[in-house]
Structure 1
Amino acid sequence: MDKEKTEQFVEDVIHISTIHNTLQNSVEFSFEISNKWLDV
């Protein structure tokens, strides 16, 4: 792989892992909210 493709690959991986973390956080956040509502 040439340098440019390698950099693009790294950017894509970082982008994907960022999206994954964001999704995971929002899922956990949703659980927290629903737990609060269920407690009421």
Structure 2
Amino acid sequence: PFVRKNILFDKLLNFSTLKYPNLAKSWFRFADWAYLWGRELLA
């Protein structure tokens, strides 16, 4: 369940960073997601 939810979220975040590269909020959210994903994988 965790993986499936995050794959969709990853696609949406990736799209937002590509569509609006100057939007800092999009990049911060993407970085936050990547950090949480990494912590979940290492836990």
TM-score (norm 1): 0.53
More helix by share: 1
Give yes or no for the alignment of 1:8 onto 2:19.
Answer: no
Shift of 1:10: 0.1
Aligned to 1:21: 42
State the structure with more CA Rg.
1
What is the Cα-based RMSD across aligned positions, in Å?
0.5
Number of aligned residues: 22
TM-score by length of 2: 0.49
Deviations 1:1-40 (A, max 9, x none): 2100000000000000000000xxxxxxxxxxxxxxxxxx
Q: Output the amino acid matched with 2:38.
A: S
State the structure with bigger RCO (CA 8 A, min sep 6), 1 or 2: 2
Structure 2 unmatched runs, 5+: 1-20
